[in-house]
Structure 1
Amino acid sequence: MEDWLVVVVALVAVGLIAGVLAGMFGIGGGIITVPALEAALSYLGIDSAIRMHVAVATSLAIIIPTSLTSAYAHHRRGSVDLEIVRRWAAFLFAGALIGAWIASMVHSRTLAFIFASLALATAVKLILFPESRNFTQSVPRGAWVPVIPAVIGNFSSMMGVGGGTFSVIALTLFNHPIHRAVGTAALFGLIIAVPGSVGFILAGLDDVRVPPGSLGYVSLIGFLLIAPSTVIAAPLGVRIAHEFSERKLSILFGAISIVASIRLFYKAIA
């Protein structure tokens, strides 16, 4: 009983932190919730072979209400680019569904290393060279552009994050203002999390190793402990984000990207 009490308190606290970060940076909170859930599952003695599957799947499910709350708060401040969302939504959705299917079968160390490198390089740019030239002066519309949201959806789903880290990186490199990139990324999180969650639920339905109270690989207990806290805290994160100048928010997002890259590098080599 004491073991469960420790886990409950810890996961509620994790939900509050993840909610604030989701609101501030449009990242969905997966950077925080995935390692926290994995640690909780380890503490409770869940089979190591499926711990990451359960952590990633549950994180994606939590991102659904979190992204809704965060995106709505950003939209009220005019920080969601609905035109880009309409252009990218189908490709994000398809990429996320494929990513969940791949993640249920293969290891993503190489992919984690690639995107950790990208996150680190972007952090360096945001912190040290904020005025340097971007790839383009606006988000491009070429025939090859759908590859970008498809890749974002694919690897975000595989890693259990809402896509904010990769989306904000991409949009800012296309000269999108940081506040608007963050708000748009928050809505991307919803588009990625829904198919990602469904994919993990279907993939885990016949796995007898899942912890009690699970739907496929999604832990309903973990969801119910974390999701309410993230929903409550996300609007606070949005308010904090809009208190910062574009420069300061870029530095903060750069710092978050460094943390994400360290985590992904560790995952790649562990």
Structure 2
Amino acid sequence: MIFTLEYFIGLILIGVVAGFASGLLGVGGGFLIVPFQYFLLEYLGVDPSLAMMISLGTSLAIIIPTATSGASRHLKVMDNILKPGIRLGLFGIVGSILGGLIASMLPTQILKIIFGCLLLFIAIRNLMSADKKTSKARAKFNLINIAVVGVLVGISSGLLGVGGGVFIILILTAIFGFSMIEAIGISSVFISLTAIGGTVSYIISGWGVNPFPYSLGYVSLVNFAVIAMFSVPLAYYGAKIAHKVPEKRLKQIFGLVVLYISLKMLGVVP
């Protein structure tokens, strides 16, 4: 298979956009990396089922350095995000391994529908709450709740090839009462860890099965190298900008971006 110049330009654009979104919104960028990679691989002529698995596995691998870059910038401003992020992330690793194994057994169309519906819910919920101030905590941030949330979001991470930031931010703000900027910082730490488990599961499930050149399981080393080269520095810059943007505006940007991607995955918009 020959990698064209158009393909590399596409990978660079994915890295720039996803990296900036990752740092700005506290997400790994997977909700952008997965669909954009999928559409690019389909354009290249890759079978849709294989394109989806490569997109999911490679996305999680890219999220590790990208989210870590964003988290390092948030930690310079907020020293209270490391402990909750690590505690959630340790349980998230377990969940993401399970999610990655489940994904290898599900049809591509089912994965696209699940991905699109979950993102649609998150987008609507976020846009509706943009004007609200920080919510009061509805549940204690204790070990039991941390374990349940960490594992469940971890499963969604591995299943959908995302770090889980789009889900964990909503939970941290709506249920545990964290502010949006705190949730973004904690999410960056969380997904840096969670993506590790998912990446491992996609390497294992795709070992000896994936015919795509220069791959480790379902992780495309070419896609990883090019996208990460741009996503890592842009994530750091995005995290820096996040601390200068009003919380309401962050919620609106987050909601609109997720809304578009959800409709794209569901086939509602071209």
Distance 1:168 1:72 in 2: 18
Partner of 1:48: 48
Aligned pairs (5 A) from 1:131-170: 131=133, 134=135, 136=137, 139-141=140-142, 143-170=144-171
Deviations, residues 88-109 of structure 1 (Å, cap 9, x unaligned): 2221111100000000111435
Aligned length: 264
Partner of 2:128: 125
Distance 1:153 1:117 in 2: 19
Contact 1:19–1:237 (8 Å) recurs in 2: yes
Deviations, residues 155-204 of structure 1 (Å, cap 9, x unaligned): 12211111111011111102101111101111111111111111000101
Distance 1:230 1:20 in 2: 7
Distance 1:138 1:144 in 2: 8
Distance 2:105 2:2 in 1: 35
Cα distance change, pair 155–231 in 1 and its aligned pair in 2 (3 A): same
Distance 2:252 2:235 in 1: 20
Unaligned runs of 5+ in 2: none
Q: How far is the alpha carbon of 1:249 from its aligned partner?
A: 1.7
Q: How far is the alpha carbon of 1:140 from its aligned partner?
A: 3.0
Identity of aligned residues (%): 31
Q: How far is the alpha carbon of 1:144 from its aligned partner?
A: 4.7
Deviations, residues 71-98 of structure 1 (Å, cap 9, x unaligned): 1011111166123124322211111000
Partner of 1:187: 189
TM-score scaled by structure 2? 0.89
Distance 2:79 2:11 in 1: 30
Cα distance change, pair 32–79 in 1 and its aligned pair in 2 (3 A): farther
Distance 1:121 1:249 in 2: 14
Partner amino acid, structure 1, of 2:32 = I
Contact 1:153–1:163 (8 Å) recurs in 2: yes
Contact 2:123–2:256 (8 Å) recurs in 1: no
Judge which range, 82-91 or 224-233, deviates more: 82-91
Cα distance change, pair 79–244 in 1 and its aligned pair in 2 (3 A): farther
Matched, 1:37 2:40: no
TM-score scaled by structure 1? 0.89
Cα distance change, pair 13–143 in 1 and its aligned pair in 2 (3 A): closer
Q: How far is the alpha carbon of 1:253 from its aligned partner?
A: 2.0
Partner of 2:101: 101
Partner of 1:223: 224
Deviations, residues 107-131 of structure 1 (Å, cap 9, x unaligned): 435643652353134223333x414
Partner of 1:92: 92
Three-state SS of the structure 1 residue aligned to 2:106 is: coil
What is the root-mean-square deviation in Å for CA atoms of aligned residues? Answer: 2.4
